[in-house]
């Protein structure tokens, strides 16, 4: 199997990155993580890039400069899929158009519900009984691209932001890799 070259964009802990890397070590997994990009030089996820000997770049600058540098690098490295995994910047319409249909994201809700930030807080405030995560293609609308896969999580009366986040993240680690397999099946 010839694996597609993928790049993972991160801003924080990199736990979804770690999960994707581990799955990419499987011979039958369709991608190879060839690059990690971060807008935060202090992102803990950089540790996973180092640990697994994956090239990485950290750029903390304005969006125009960031995207110009990254776009050139992605083309040079022949990246076929971009995975946004806890990446906290919004990409420009121009950048998205350059990789149309080749950028995916994971969001901690059952889209189209609870787009944007502070998801767990809003889910709990609305007394939802069910939430989860959604892997979707990125388009020019925030959290509005075509849905690839969803995973559901039950919410108990004892849940708070921290416990709910932990439950959802557990499902995210499985969902992201399942979605990548689904794209290339």
The answer to whether the CB of 73 falls within 8 A of the CB of 34 is: no
Q: Which 8-state DSSP code applies to residue 141?
A: S
* Nearest alpha carbon to residue 112 among 84, 140, 85, 150: 150
Gap between the Cα atoms of 2 and 10, Å rounded:
25
**How many C-beta atoms lie closer than 10 Å to residue 149's C-beta?**
19
The active-site residue, picked from 102, 107, 136, 167, is 107
Catalytic residue status for 107: yes
User: If DSSP codes are grouped into helix, strand and coil, which group holds residue 91?
Assistant: coil
Sort 50 into a burial class: Cβ within 10 Å, 0-12 / 13-18 / 19+.
Answer: exposed
* Nearest alpha carbon to residue 172 among 125, 127, 120: 120
Strand order, beta sheet including 56-58: 56-58, 31-38, 4-10, 81-84, 103-107, 130-137, 147-154
Q: Which residues are catalytically annotated?
A: 107
């Amino acid at each position: 199997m010839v694996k597609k070259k993928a790049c993972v964009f991160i801003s924080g802990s990199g736990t979804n990155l770690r999960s994707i890397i581990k799955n990419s070590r499987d011979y039958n997994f369709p991608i190879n993580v060839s690059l990690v990009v971060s807008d935060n030089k202090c992102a803990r996820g950089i540790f996973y890039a180092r640990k697994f000997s994956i090239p990485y770049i950290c750029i903390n600058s304005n969006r125009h400069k960031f995207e110009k540098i990254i776009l050139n690098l992605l083309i040079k490295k022949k990246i076929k899929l971009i995975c946004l995994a806890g990446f906290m910047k919004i990409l420009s319409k121009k950048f998205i158009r350059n990789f149309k249909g080749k950028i995916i994201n994971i969001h901690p809700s059952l889209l189209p519900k609870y787009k944007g930030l502070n998801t767990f807080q809003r889910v709990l405030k609305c007394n939802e009984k069910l939430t989860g995560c959604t892997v979707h293609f990125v388009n020019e609308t925030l959290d509005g691209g075509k849905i690839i896969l969803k995973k559901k999580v039950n919410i108990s009366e004892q849940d708070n932001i921290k416990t709910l986040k932990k439950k959802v993240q557990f499902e995210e680690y499985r969902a992201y890799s399942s979605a990548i397999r689904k794209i290339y099946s």
